[in-house]
A and B are shown apart, each in its own frame.
Chain A
Amino acid sequence: MNKDIDINVEYLTRVEGHGNIVVNTSNGNIETCEWQVVEAPRYFESLVVGRNWKELHHITSRICGICSIGHTLASLKATEDAMGIKISKQDELLRKLALHGENMQSHVLHVGYLVLPDLMSVGSVIPLASSHPEEVKTVIRLHRLANEMSKMMAGRTTHPQRLIPGGFSKIPTVEELEDLKKRLAASVEDLNTVADLLAQLAPGIPDFTRETEFISLKSDDEYALYDGYDFSSDTGKSDVHDYLDITNEYEVPQSTAKYTKNNRESYMVGALARLNNNYEQLTPLAKKVSEKLGLKPMNFNPYMNSVAQVVEIVHSVEDSIAIIDELLDKGLKPQKNFHRPDVKVKAGTGVGAVEVPRGILFHEYTYDDNGVCTKANCIIPTNQNHANIQLDMEKLVPEILDKTEKEIELTLEMLVRAYDPCISCSTHYVDVKFVE
């Protein structure tokens, strides 16, 4: 057993943003075991103060490049809630497609480009391009499909344009939707290839469990992503307007990101939380893939989050096909380009909650009579996971002290990566340090 360990991973790689992992042991006693978030603050809650309601979603989209559609949707929902703006059923379905596109894009990027290298014992996807060209091309094809779908719905793959308060500035055509449906259906073969590959590599996923609380949106009608009520696996249902009672943010000195807790000292959000809370509402093929990969609720292994993401990719493909069918069956109501929904500007406060790739996201804004923002609050999924990562590390480190320093470091890096942290959202860093 290692009596003295000094792990100091500064700026963890293959994650979005800047975080450090620091573990020190002396004579087998753990002296430091910390997940540190050292991203430079970006002050979005201040940037939007004094800005007009038409600009807010454009500014807050910039919180995160990877989940810019999700941030835009949470922002629009908050503005719409504050001003009592209703959107049409058609626009809601189109927004759901935009969100599916982004969730698929983000999950494929994470599992295919960031997690796969650990399971295949290489430092990045780059060497895999020559050692496993077919697998890498499959991942690229799925990634491209997801991006092209996002662009079709939102106008751009990153930092969308078509999504505006009250609806859309431009919508896809019937032909585009029909084409997308065909391509989604044809992608099932690629999805099976990825699921098979993951099933082969599954023995490399660390076997670790720690009971925790899972928080996500939930809906009576579907696997909740775009809308629903808050749901905790410990404390049950609550209204999204009461989100502060769940998040209970607090500042800690080792992090520029705030931490959160609800019923326990920490909780988890993201694909695994959603799957645990809403498994029964997954599409049939998604459930089949979940079974094949050995994932069923309640699962308390945070490393399985990446597996849950693969299940969700399958769900998004199947559910998107169903949504397109619904749109086409009803007959897509045409809309002129440069559309401006009718909005009556008024003062108020509103909350928008959306399930984005990394978990539940809240935006809350207050507007004055002129539609100028006077106050804002954004609670990002990765923030809600920081405390859970910290507590996982505290349980995990003593269990793996008999491994080599290098193995411990990799196991800890893989743990943080499994959460798919988006640290620049939550504010920027990953760094693992071992001390001799």
Chain B
Amino acid sequence: MKQKIKPKVAFFDLAGCEGDQLQIANLEEKILDLLNLVEVVSFREVMKEHSDDYDIAFIEGSATNDHAEERLKEIRKNADIVVAIGACATIGGVNSIRNKQNHEEVGERVYGDNAELSELYISWEKAKPVDAVIKVDYKIHGCPIDRDEFLHVVESLVVGRVPNIPDYPVCVECKLNENVCAFEREEFCVGPVTRAGCDACCVNEGTRCWGCRGLIDNPNEEAHMEVLEEYGLTPEDVMKEFDLYFTWQKEARENE
């Protein structure tokens, strides 16, 4: 029987916690199925071998310096499809909290008087998502990514289909889970403006939505108005109140 040619995939990481690549290890037995679908040619976290000949590149982490920019341009040149995985790569993640802080103070808080000691410490004033530097074809959101969504994207790309990534707010999934609304519990929640696809996993575990999958494409039109109206809020109120994950997106949208 003739063996079908498997697409070659590679994994890369910039500034991040590598928790998204960890979700691939966390597929457990399903990793073996994944290996039947694709050929992994580069994955520094788990293998010594490396090749620049790949079709699909998965990139985790934010770009924070010139070196990252060079690496990204090289990856874009080599890959047919570039997929950003995880909040740091898709929307800047918690890294972008510092984008609003004074850059000099940021360096001093971490390295004290030695902030100038090494050129390795040099970082851009802003941490950026991957698509601020190179063209990105698909994004797998979340902090960390959802394992099943990752598998869905890989399976789609292998057969040449466009993966299905939700563009409706987390409230929709949260309601289906019959959670007590965070606002009713007097907590602040960004579920009404945050992209779904996580099954409201944080609220299910007793907390609130923190916004890690980023803003939906058009919060003013697509926000979960029912919840907002009930508590006398607008999408702007929500976005203004809480910006753990939205710093880069809000700035980019203001500049549009």
Instruction: Please list the residues of chain A having a beta carbon within 8 angstroms of any beta carbon in chain B.
Output: 11, 13-18, 38-47, 49-51, 55, 58-59, 62-66, 68, 109, 113-114, 117, 123-126, 129, 137, 140, 143-144, 147, 155-159, 161-162, 164, 168-170, 251, 253-256, 337-340, 424-425, 428
Among listed B90-98, B149-157, B214-222, interface-contacting one: B90-98
CB-CB under 8 A from B210, the residues of chain A are: 58
Besides the known contacts A59-B244, A159-B144, A168-B206, 16 further A-B residue pairs in the complex with CB atoms under 8 A apart: A14-B48, A40-B65, A43-B109, A65-B21, A68-B19, A117-B48, A140-B31, A143-B25, A147-B26, A155-B204, A156-B202, A254-B120, A424-B16, A425-B17, A428-B13, A428-B15
CA–CA, A428 to B64, complex, Å?
Answer: 12
Q: A159-B143, A424-B17 are in contact. Are A45 and B28 (CB under 8 A)?
A: no
- Could you jot down 29 A-B contacts, CB within 8 Å? A13-B44, A13-B48, A39-B15, A41-B111, A42-B15, A42-B95, A44-B110, A47-B98, A50-B101, A58-B244, A62-B19, A62-B143, A64-B19, A65-B17, A66-B18, A66-B22, A123-B49, A124-B47, A124-B48, A129-B32, A137-B29, A140-B29, A147-B26, A155-B201, A156-B205, A169-B205, A170-B206, A251-B118, A428-B15
* Contact of B109 with A45 in the complex, beta carbons under 8 Å: yes
CA–CA, A161 to B45, complex, Å?
Answer: 26
* Contact of A64 with B17 in the complex, beta carbons under 8 Å: yes
CB-CB under 8 A from B244, the residues of chain A are: 55, 58-59
* Contact of B25 with A113 in the complex, beta carbons under 8 Å: yes
- From B47, B67, B106, B143, A13 is in contact (CB under 8 Å) with B47
CA–CA, A107 to B25, complex, Å?
Answer: 13
User: Nearest chain-B residue to A58 (Cβ)?
Assistant: B210
Q: A43-B109, A59-B94, A123-B47 are in contact. Are A253 and B118 (CB under 8 A)?
A: yes
Q: A126-B35, A424-B16 are in contact. Are A158 and B64 (CB under 8 A)?
A: no
* Contact of B18 with A143 in the complex, beta carbons under 8 Å: no
Shortest CB distance B142–A (Å): 10
CB-CB under 8 A from A147, the residues of chain B are: 26, 28
CB-CB under 8 A from B14, the residues of chain A are: 40
The count of residues in chain B whose C-beta lies closer than 8 Å to any C-beta of chain A is 61
- From A63, A123, A143, A156, B48 is in contact (CB under 8 Å) with A123
Say yes or no for B23: interface residue by CB 8 A criterion: yes
* Contact of B45 with A16 in the complex, beta carbons under 8 Å: yes
- Number of interchain pairs (Cβ within 8 Å): 182
CB-CB under 8 A from A38, the residues of chain B are: 120
CA–CA, A68 to B23, complex, Å?
Answer: 13
Instruction: Please list the residues of chain B having a beta carbon within 8 angstroms of any beta carbon in chain A.
Output: 13-23, 25-26, 28-29, 31-32, 35, 40, 43-50, 64-65, 67-68, 93-95, 97-98, 101, 105-107, 109-111, 114, 117-118, 120-121, 123, 143-144, 180, 185, 201-202, 204-207, 210, 244
* Contact of B106 with A40 in the complex, beta carbons under 8 Å: no
User: Nearest chain-B residue to A38 (Cβ)?
Assistant: B120
* Contact of A68 with B17 in the complex, beta carbons under 8 Å: yes
Q: A124-B46, A126-B40, A251-B117 are in contact. Are A65 and B95 (CB under 8 A)?
A: no
- From B19, B68, B106, B205, A66 is in contact (CB under 8 Å) with B19
User: Nearest chain-A residue to B15 (Cβ)?
Assistant: A40
User: Nearest chain-A residue to B186 (Cβ)?
Assistant: A340
CB-CB under 8 A from A42, the residues of chain B are: 15, 64, 95
Secondary structure call for the A interface: loop
Shortest CB distance B11–A (Å): 11
CA–CA, A129 to B17, complex, Å?
Answer: 27
* Contact of B23 with A59 in the complex, beta carbons under 8 Å: no
CB-CB under 8 A from B94, the residues of chain A are: 47, 59, 62
* Contact of A62 with B205 in the complex, beta carbons under 8 Å: no
* Contact of A40 with B20 in the complex, beta carbons under 8 Å: no
User: Nearest chain-A residue to B106 (Cβ)?
Assistant: A46
CA–CA, A157 to B22, complex, Å?
Answer: 10
* Contact of B111 with A251 in the complex, beta carbons under 8 Å: yes
* Contact of A65 with B45 in the complex, beta carbons under 8 Å: no
CB-CB under 8 A from B205, the residues of chain A are: 155-156, 161-162, 169-170
Shortest CB distance A412–B (Å): 13
* Contact of B18 with A169 in the complex, beta carbons under 8 Å: no
CA–CA, A73 to B218, complex, Å?
Answer: 37
- From A46, A140, A251, A253, B109 is in contact (CB under 8 Å) with A46
